[in-house]
Amino acid sequence: MAHGAPIQNLDSIDIIGARNEGGADLTIVVSSALNASPEHQKLLLDKLEGYLGYVNTPDFAAEFGIPSPDRVCIVLACYHSPDPVILRLIEKCSAWAQKNNASLRVENRTRAG
pLDDT tens-digit readout, 11-25: 999 999 999 999 999
For residue 16, which phi and psi values (nearest 5 degrees)?
-135, 135
Distances (CA, A) of 73 to 2, 17, 35, 38, 95: 28, 10, 23, 25, 13
Question: Distance of alpha carbon 67 from its chain centroid, rounded?
Answer: 15
Q: Global pTM?
A: 0.92
Residue 101 has pLDDT above 70, yes or no: yes
pLDDT band at 110 (very low <50, low <70, confident <90, very high): confident
For residue 66, the 8-state DSSP code is S
pLDDT band at 86 (very low <50, low <70, confident <90, very high): very high
Residue 80 has pLDDT above 60, yes or no: yes
pLDDT band at 7 (very low <50, low <70, confident <90, very high): very high
